[in-house]
Chains A and B, each alone.
Chain A
């Protein structure tokens, strides 16, 4: 079993829909990252979370440390949001190892 699981693996949506991508992990962590990988391959950091909730534009990320679960929400989705979204966890302090989920491929159609 992978230490970081994402769901769904693939997601299609119509423009304007509310999107949720989930990430569950089974290890102790000090932080969780959400990344976006564009169709061209470039990777961008979206959020770093250690507790609670963060918002940036139409993107919202939440984390529940007790349940070992995080969600990434996209409100009013747009075709330019089409990308692979990757969850990554930074293992507990005293190590800087990063473990990744296998990603969620999102396609938003006009």
Chain B
């Protein structure tokens, strides 16, 4: 089944403890991206990647890192999480940039205490 898989679905962590949210797609898509969703603010783009080893900042990249060493994987790294990074995170992929539809992962609900 064609899908984007995010892990974990739920995570509670403490301030400052490094964490990684994984994202993997099995559709050979070139484009992958991370978003966070907050009440009243909606979805906001964190980082995106057009291809392996190519990443760029979205609207709210501060406090996050990404890497794209393989086409299928695009992990989101929080080196030193803070409570303002408590949010619902989505990964998505697309065959090529945004001129095709997106396939979204199921989301990761992160709480930083």
Which A residues are within 8 Å of any B CB, using their own CB?
Answer: 30-31, 33, 35, 41-45, 47-48, 50, 86, 88, 90, 95-103
Query: Taking the complex as formed, is B1 at the interface, i.e. its CB lies under 8 A from any CB of chain A?
Result: no
Which residues of the other chain, A, contact B48 by a CB distance below 8 angstroms?
Answer: 96-98
Within the complex, the shortest CB–CB distance from B51 to chain A, in Å, comes to 11
Within the complex, the shortest CB–CB distance from B89 to chain A, in Å, comes to 11
Assuming the contacts A98-B33, A98-B58, asked whether A86 and B100 have C-beta atoms less than 8 A apart, the reply is: no
Dominant secondary structure of chain A at its interface with chain B: strand
- Pairwise interchain contact A31-B99, C-beta atoms closer than 8 A: yes
Q: Pull 16 A–B residue pairs with CB atoms less than 8 Å apart, ordered by A.
A: A31-B98, A33-B102, A35-B102, A41-B106, A43-B92, A44-B104, A45-B102, A88-B43, A90-B97, A96-B48, A96-B56, A96-B97, A99-B45, A100-B45, A101-B42, A102-B41
Which residues of the other chain, A, contact B98 by a CB distance below 8 angstroms?
Answer: 30-31, 33, 48, 90, 96, 98
Q: How many residues of B contact A (CB 8 A)?
A: 27
Within the complex, the shortest CB–CB distance from B87 to chain A, in Å, comes to 12
- Pairwise interchain contact A48-B99, C-beta atoms closer than 8 A: yes
The answer, among A33, A44, A96, for a CB contact under 8 Å with B31, is: A96
Please report the number of residue pairs spanning A and B whose Cβ atoms sit closer than 8 angstroms.
Answer: 65
In angstroms, Cα B88 to Cα A65, docked, is 32
In angstroms, Cα B97 to Cα A31, docked, is 10
Within the complex, the shortest CB–CB distance from B104 to chain A, in Å, comes to 4
Which residues of the other chain, A, contact B65 by a CB distance below 8 angstroms?
Answer: none
Assuming the contacts A43-B90, A96-B48, A97-B58, asked whether A103 and B42 have C-beta atoms less than 8 A apart, the reply is: yes
Q: List residues of B (37-75) whose CB comes within 8 Å of A's CBs.
A: 40-45, 48, 50, 56, 58-59
- Pairwise interchain contact B106-A48, C-beta atoms closer than 8 A: no
20 additional A-B residue pairs with CB within 8 Å, beyond A31-B99, A100-B45: A31-B98, A33-B102, A41-B88, A42-B106, A42-B107, A43-B92, A44-B104, A45-B103, A45-B104, A48-B99, A48-B101, A86-B43, A96-B48, A96-B56, A96-B97, A97-B45, A97-B59, A98-B33, A98-B58, A102-B40
